Amino acid sequence: MNITVRDVAMMIDHTNLHADATTADFQKLCDQAREYGFKSVAINTYPVAMCRRMLEGSEVLTGAAVGFPLGQMTIATKATEAENAVNDGAQEFDYVLNVGKLKEHDYVYIEEEMKQLVAVARKAGICCKVIFETCYLTREEIVEAARIASRVRPDFIKTSTGFGTAGATAENVKLMKENCGPEVQVKAAGGIRSWKDAQAMIEAGATRLGTSSGIRIIEEMKAAGIQ
């Protein structure tokens, strides 16, 4: 794979979505993201304004997690949360689709939800990523959700929250990529803890990686002689 350390750093959403995260934890996250040149910090919506201030003067984006981690909120609630995050300074957001409705094969609902959340992002001129939570889904359900995305055109579809029963797999990344259309990218998240893991996701078609192990990934690349 012909890829540089900077290429990979610019794919990483440096993540802290834990309930017990403190101001000091967010400062550390932002400082690390700035130092390593990561694409964004991925956080819940409450600390968005704070992290945006912490990252002032850097190229690191402030990303918000909406409807996280279960996705079991109304469409209106998710849209309002996304709008609030944007008002607080979010420069992109990832939302969890309604997994239960997808399991019921209510694809009309999933498409309407996606349209409304993407509309919030488009109005703000920012990136929207749709989290599938693939650990709960069949291949058919993953394919159908990806095909809906091919019509609605969020910027990314994403494998996992990292809070489900399993995280990203190369197989699911490939399946999503094959069905989402050329204008939608794939983000792999959940369980990506090493350069080997990251490499497998990139080779399968992921162009963004959600991980709290970004520093380890970059240091392993450097140790392997990758510049």
The string of pLDDT tens digits covering residues 153-196 is 999 999 999 999 999 999 999 999 999 999 999 999 999 999 99
At residue 1, the pLDDT reads 77
Give CA–CA dist 175/183, Å, rounded. Answer: 15
Percent helix, strand, coil in the chain, to 5, is 50, 15, 35
Q: Average the pLDDT over 50-61 and give the result.
A: 98
Contacts of 13 (CB under 8 A, 6+ apart): 38, 39, 40, 41, 42, 63, 187, 189, 208, 209, 210, 211
Fold of 5-223: TIM Barrel (3.20.20)
Tell me whether residue 187 is one of the annotated catalytic residues.
yes
Q: Average the pLDDT over 50-55 and give the result.
A: 98
Name the more confident of 197 and 2: 197
Query: Which residue out of 39, 101, 177, 187 is catalytically annotated?
Result: 187
Q: 81-112 pLDDT, tens per residue?
A: 999 999 999 999 999 999 999 999 999 999 99
Give CA–CA dist 172/31, Å, rounded. Answer: 32
Token pair 């403190």 in the structure block, residue: 22
Rounded to 5 degrees, φ, ψ at 36 are -90, -5
Q: 103-161 pLDDT, tens per residue?
A: 999 999 999 999 999 999 999 999 999 999 999 999 999 999 999 999 999 999 999 99
At residue 198, the pLDDT reads 98
Give CA–CA dist 41/214, Å, rounded. Answer: 11
Q: Is the pTM for the entire model greater than 0.95? A: yes
Query: Which residue out of 101, 158, 177, 197 is catalytically annotated?
Result: 158
First to last CA, the chain: 13
- Give, for 70, the enclosing helix (H) or strand (E): none
Tell me whether residue 78 is one of the annotated catalytic residues.
no
Query: Which residue out of 94, 101, 129, 177 is catalytically annotated?
Result: 94
Tell me whether residue 94 is one of the annotated catalytic residues.
yes
